[in-house]
């Protein structure tokens, strides 16, 4: 594999499906990690590049008096309204994709062999086209709901967040591989380790 073209492994999964844990496992095995959620948070942190457009589209009501984004207020709007969600995605996704491409290029320049492209909306945003292979983590509906509610959401709020994303069935059908996380985390980690070692062997 050419030194400045790492293998791009797309990692995706619905909220509460264990994607962050899977990414941490792959990172511990030596993969470079490009985290779309972290990029999005940076873009909407104080002074972030996305804030002026968010204020223009959504108004002062989604900001605290000190200019910090009120994520809960914005979340309530976008998860209750598909048009508003698309409006926010239209602001964030181009900025996220630009940063992602920069980070992939930097990984190639460092000589990283594998880059895990960690994107919750990998297929929805079309970013799977950047990937050589895609892995999706999944969990059954009850497990997913319980995990999301454990973050402090009501059942209705949790279900709205789950429903705002691609169905698990469609995500699994589009992914190269699917990893089920309805089991102790050490078993998921063992499967991921085996899959990653097989991938490295294929790369030679």
Instruction: Look at residue 4 in the predicted model and tell me its pLDDT.
Output: 67
Cite the DSSP H helix spans in 121-184. 141-149, 155-163, 168-174
**pLDDT of 94-139, one tens digit each?**
999 999 999 999 999 999 999 999 999 999 989 999 999 999 999 9
Alpha helices in 3-154 (DSSP H): 19-28, 36-43, 51-58, 71-80, 82-110, 141-149
> What pTM value is reported for the model?
0.89
- Report yes or no: 122 and 137 within 8 Å, Cβ to Cβ: no
pLDDT 10s digits, 43-57: 999 999 999 999 999
Stretches where the chain sits below pLDDT 50 are: 1-2
Please tell me the predicted confidence (pLDDT) of residue 20: 93
Closest CA to 155 of 142, 168, 164: 142
Give Rg (Cα) of the chain. Answer: 18
- φ/ψ of 175, rounded to 5, equals -80, 155
Separation between Cα atoms, residue 96 and residue 118, nearest integer Å: 12
- Which pLDDT score is estimated for 1? 43
**What is the pLDDT, as a whole number, of residue 2?**
46
């Amino acid at each position: 594999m050419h030194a400045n073209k790492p293998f791009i492994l797309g990692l995706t999964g619905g909220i509460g499906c264990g994607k962050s844990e899977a990414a941490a496992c792959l990172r511990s095995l030596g993969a470079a990690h490009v985290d779309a959620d972290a990029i999005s948070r940076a873009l909407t942190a104080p002074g972030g590049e996305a804030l002026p457009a968010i204020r223009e589209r959504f108004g002062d009501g989604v900001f605290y008096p000190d200019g910090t984004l009120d994520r809960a207020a914005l979340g309530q709007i976008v998860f209750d309204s598909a048009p508003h969600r698309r409006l926010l995605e239209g602001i964030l996704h181009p900025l996220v994709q630009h940063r992602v491409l920069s980070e992939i290029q930097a990984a190639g320049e460092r000589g990283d062999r594998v880059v895990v492209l960690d994107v919750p909306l990998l297929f929805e945003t079309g970013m799977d086209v950047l990937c050589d292979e895609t892995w999706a983590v999944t969990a059954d509906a009850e497990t997913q709901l319980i995990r999301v509610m454990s973050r402090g959401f009501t059942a209705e709020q949790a279900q709205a967040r789950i429903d705002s994303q691609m169905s698990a069935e469609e995500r699994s059908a589009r992914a190269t591989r699917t990893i089920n996380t309805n089991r102790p985390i050490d078993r998921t980690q063992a499967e991921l380790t085996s899959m990653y070692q097989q991938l490295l062997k294929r790369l030679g």
